[in-house]
């Protein structure tokens, strides 16, 4: 009977230990690229009053907080200062964020709270380097240069967008140099790999090729990652001049002109007098028509030009006043005063409408960003 009792006690102790392990302790593996921030997520929605939170790194206590008293101590100078100014604690969930990670931050982290305990094994890999931003005109080719020479044991992967869609890979030892069509087939027959350097060339570029490109190079167990931010801009049309109306009197003659472009986005339309800017109007995402008025004197000898530009190119049209502006014989106005007023009003409305539409779009985008930030965090978008 005594032996049976001891066995029962041992069984209960083992069962209790198993419940403690499987019921209240969880384990998670987390990986992050060296230099980036990582969050060790508790998955809790709210820390209750009376609870306490402790974060440990190995055998060292790095965060200690009491929800009831509101006290919190962050030991960010511990361990030779490796956590100094790098730890952020979410007071609502207890989650811990480590910023600007280094190899010294890899290891075992343990969360201890009143309701649970959880272990995290943090692994750091590779190095993240932002090489540069690249701009290209639509239809042209662009090369993303690695500035390295491929070794036999290199494994290389090219991805596109924040979703990191694979678009090319290289295994030099196996003789693999493959490219892929990418999202919606947008890269079909447009990608070329340099077999000596691993650089990627995109031919016949389109606006849909704008975005983030990432190359990951693995060699002898080490990993390096580089990023390119590519912007593809549409080719710009040549601005067109038109005359709204002319007027003449015994003292002076003048006319109002319009500089216009159609189906443009991410551009600025400007009037210049010599090298001095007179007026301008810009549009961001929308593909719309833009018009910008100018009034000049018939006898004006200054040089005027209308310039359409985006971040990488421009189109300039020089004004010939004598060709567009001339006095009218037998009439004070080249067009009736009513017609002239109507045209001026329409012109003004066109300009105002463009500005209003652009402002609405910007406001809408800011609203979307704030909502997205509030809901934190959707990393995606090509």
Q: What are the sequence ranges of the domains in the chain? A: 24-125, 138-233, 240-364
* pLDDT for residue 255 is more than 80: yes
Q: What secondary structure, in 3-state letters, does the chain show? A: CHHHHHHHHHHHHHHHHHHHHHHHEEEEEEEEEECCCEEECCCCCCCCCCCEEEEEECCEEEEEEECCCCEEEECCCHHHHCCCCCEEECCCCCCEEECCCCHHHCEEEEEEECCCEEEEEEEEEEEEEEEEEEEEECCCCEEECCCCCCCCCCEEEEEECCCCEEEEEEECCCCEEEECCCHHHCCCCCEEECCCCCCEEECCCCHHHCEEEEEEEEECCEEEEEEEEEEEECCCCCCEEEEEEEEECCCCEEEEEEEEEEEECCEEEEEEECCEEEEEEEECCCCEEEEEEEEEECCCCCCEEEEEECCCCEEEEECCHHHHCCCCCCCCECCCHHHHHHHHHHHHHHHHHHHHHHHHHHHHHHHHHHHHHHHCCCCCCC
- At the fourth CATH level, the homologous superfamily of domain 24-125 is Immunoglobulins (2.60.40.10)
Residue 37 C-beta-side C-alpha neighbours within 13 Å: 10
To the nearest 10°, the Cα dihedral for 65, 82, 121, 42? 30
Model pLDDT, residue 151: 81
Q: Return left, alpha or beta for 24; rule: phi > 0 is left, psi -120 to 50 is alpha, else beta.
A: alpha
* pLDDT for residue 337 is more than 70: no
* pLDDT for residue 362 is more than 60: no
- At the fourth CATH level, the homologous superfamily of domain 240-364 is Immunoglobulins (2.60.40.10)
* pLDDT for residue 261 is more than 60: yes
Model pLDDT, residue 131: 67
Which of residues 129 and 307 earns the better pLDDT score? 307
Separation CA 262–CA 292 (nearest Å): 12
Model pLDDT, residue 130: 61
* pLDDT for residue 248 is more than 50: yes
Which fold does the domain 138-233 belong to in CATH?
A: Immunoglobulin-like (2.60.40)
Model pLDDT, residue 368: 35
Model pLDDT, residue 26: 58
Model pLDDT, residue 125: 67
Model pLDDT, residue 327: 55
Model pLDDT, residue 271: 93
Task: State the average pLDDT over residues 26-44.
Answer: 79
Q: Which strand ranges, in their side-by-side order, compose the sheet holding 191-193?
A: 142-144, 200-202, 191-193
Closest among 17, 34, 51, 162 to 42, alpha carbons compared: 51
Which of residues 209 and 351 earns the better pLDDT score? 209
Residue at token pair 């509101």: 70
Q: What confidence tens digit (pLDDT) does each residue in 151-205 have?
A: 877 889 999 987 789 999 999 888 899 999 988 899 999 999 999 889 999 999 9
Most confidently modeled range among 34-48, 118-132, 184-198: 184-198
Lowest-confidence pick of 160-169, 216-225, 236-245, 308-317: 216-225
Most confidently modeled range among 65-74, 186-195, 283-292, 304-313: 186-195
Which of residues 152 and 269 earns the better pLDDT score? 269
Q: What confidence tens digit (pLDDT) does each residue in 341-354 have?
A: 444 444 444 444 44
pLDDT band for 356, please (50, 70, 90 cuts).
Answer: very low
Model pLDDT, residue 23: 38
Q: Return left, alpha or beta for 35; rule: phi > 0 is left, psi -120 to 50 is alpha, else beta.
A: left
CA angle 288, 291, 297 (to 5 degrees): 175
Model pLDDT, residue 249: 57
**Percent of the chain whose pLDDT exceeds 90:** 23
* pLDDT for residue 289 is more than 50: yes
Closest among 48, 72, 75 to 61, alpha carbons compared: 75
Which of residues 337 and 371 earns the better pLDDT score? 337
CB 252 within 8 A of CB 297: yes
The alpha carbon of 204 is separated from its chain's Cα centroid by a whole number of angstroms, namely: 23
Phi, psi torsion values for 373, nearest 5 degrees: -65, -35
* Same CATH fold assignment for domains 24-125 and 240-364: yes
The mean of the pLDDT values for the chain is: 75
pLDDT band for 253, please (50, 70, 90 cuts).
Answer: confident
Task: State the average pLDDT over residues 255-260.
Answer: 90
Model pLDDT, residue 287: 74
Joined together, the tokens standing for residue 299 give 């006898």
CB 93 within 8 A of CB 45: yes
Peptide bond into 288 cis (omega under 30): no
CB 106 within 8 A of CB 15: no
Which of residues 56 and 254 earns the better pLDDT score? 56
N- to C-terminal Cα separation, the chain: 71
Q: Return left, alpha or beta for 361; rule: phi > 0 is left, psi -120 to 50 is alpha, else beta.
A: alpha
């Amino acid at each position: 009977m005594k032996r049976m009792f001891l066995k029962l006690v041992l069984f209960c102790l083992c069962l209790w230990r198993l419940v403690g392990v499987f019921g209240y302790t969880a384990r998670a593996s987390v990986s992050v690229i060296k230099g980036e921030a990582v969050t060790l997520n508790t998955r809790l929605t709210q820390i209750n009053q009376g609870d306490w939170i402790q974060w440990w790194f190995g055998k060292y206590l790095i965060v200690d907080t009491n929800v009831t008293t509101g006290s919190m101590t962050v030991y960010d100078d511990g361990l030779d200062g490796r956590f100094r100014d790098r730890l952020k604690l979410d007071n609502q969930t207890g989650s811990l964020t480590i910023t600007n990670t280094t190899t010294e931050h890899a290891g075992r982290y343990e969360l201890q709270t009143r309701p649970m305990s959880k272990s995290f094994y943090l692994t750091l890999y590779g190095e993240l380097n932002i090489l540069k931003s690249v701009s290209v005109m639509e239809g042209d080719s662009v090369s993303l240069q690695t500035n390295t020479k491929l070794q036999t044991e290199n494994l290389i992967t090219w991805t596109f967008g924040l979703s990191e869609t694979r678009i090319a890979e290289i295994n030099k030892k196996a003789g693999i140099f493959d490219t892929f069509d990418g999202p919606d087939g947008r890269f079909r027959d447009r990608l070329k790999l340099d077999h000596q350097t691993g650089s990627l060339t995109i031919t016949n570029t389109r606006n849909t090729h704008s975005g983030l490109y990432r190359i990951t190079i693995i060699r002898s167990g080490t990993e390096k990652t580089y990023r390119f931010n590519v912007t593809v801009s549409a080719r710009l049309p040549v601005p067109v001049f038109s005359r709204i109306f002319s007027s003449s009197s015994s003292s002076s003659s003048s006319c109002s002109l319009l500089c216009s472009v159609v189906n443009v986005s991410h551009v600025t339309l400007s009037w210049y007098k010599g090298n001095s800017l007179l007026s301008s109007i810009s549009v961001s995402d929308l593909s719309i028509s833009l018009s910008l008025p100018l009034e000049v004197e018939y006898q004006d000898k200054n040089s005027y030009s209308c310039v359409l530009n985006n971040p990488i190119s421009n189109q300039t049209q020089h004004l010939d006043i004598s060709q567009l502006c001339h006095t009218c014989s037998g009439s004070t106005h080249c067009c009736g005063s009513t017609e002239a007023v109507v045209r001026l009003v329409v012109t003004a409305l066109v300009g105002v409408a463009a500005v209003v539409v652009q402002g609405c779009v910007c406001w809408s985008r800011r609203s979307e960003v704030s909502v997205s930030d509030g809901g934190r965090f959707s990393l995606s978008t090509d």
